[in-house]
Amino acid sequence: MESAIGEHLQCPRTLTRRVPDTYTPPFPMWVGRADDTLQQVVMGYLGVQFRGEDQRSAALQAMRDIVAGFDLPDGPAHHDLTHHIDSQGYENLIVVGYWKDVSSQHRWSKSTPVASWWESDDRLSDGLGFFREIVAPRAEQFETLYAFQDDLPGVGAVMDGTSGEINEHGYWGSMRERFPISQTNWMQASGELRVIAGDPAAGGRVVVRGHDNIALIRSGQDWADAEADERSLYLDEILPTLQSGMDFLRDNGPAVGCYSNRFVRNIDIDGNFLDLSYNIGHWASLDQLERWSESHPTHLRIFTTFFRVAAGLSKLRLYHEVSVFDAGDQLYEYINCHPGTGMLRDAVTTAEHST
């Protein structure tokens, strides 16, 4: 059994683990592995927001335009497409791209076709909302966990492979302890989420600045190849409780430190639903994410169910990835999105900030 933390990222611990060195996990799990050439990844959430059937065709075409841009030089190494309806009843299509390094993503986003599309006045007048939420954790600032070993989704798709069975899972606090940085750093949040350009209430272009150690979780479910018993397990037992927890975070996030929560369904390029889904949750800090996951009844029921069935899973694929970021490695930008979108909801305006 190996550590979730790759050998080249290990260092003498100054912060102790929550379990003894003799701890043995109750079932096998794995993490994504990358060599020391991977220094920093980029996760880009590029969204199209619309409301009503009359806008659906234009929204899907805008999503396809974004995807087509990924074929340009320095496009992401992996991407997927999602759909969700937010708390205000707006539909959102999100193209999620992953890059293995910051420089290639910067070159892509600054390229003339990409920059001119995003900066065009057409984005202000075509009747749709757009957003880009781009974060770039260093190798020591993210962790992964998979109940399977092949075809890793999300950030795992840009890594080199999968670990052997890992030790740091199956107990409260294990998520934190899979972060390489957790060996010496509490990852405490500092600063505030703040609007630095534009006015969310007025629409148009709005830019939000993040703060140190915002946490992002992507927690996924893949039942595409599951047989009848596992499909029933997910759809009849896991999903109802999961949906309840995700709705709670969507509607009550400020009370628990969750800036934004989206429970999304994967789609194909034509907008057809696939048998995959995941949660996209931005949190004010990792410790607030931990506190909710360890105490809220909906998550405790999910965790208990997973513990009960994990060892017997065959085709039902469950996973997550969690990251934290320095303030300078985040970009949140919105065009004609409603003020409850993403990080807009909880960001303070300049006027609020100055009081």
Give Cα separations from 10 to 25, 139, 143, 168, 171 (angstroms).
20, 12, 13, 14, 21
Nearest Cα residue to 48 out of 130, 165, 146: 130
Nearest Cα residue to 176 out of 210, 213, 133, 136: 213
Please list, in sequence order, all residues whose beta carbon lies within 8 angstroms of the beta carbon of residue 328, skipping any fewer than 6 positions away.
none
Distance CA 259, CA 348 (A): 12
Nearest Cα residue to 40 out of 326, 284, 343: 326
320 is catalytic: yes
Nearest Cα residue to 326 out of 201, 187, 182: 187
Catalytic residue, chosen from 78, 320, 338, 353, is: 320
Identify whether the C-beta of residue 224 lies closer than 8 Å to the C-beta of residue 235: no
Provide the 10 A C-beta neighbour count for residue 198: 18
Active site residues: 320
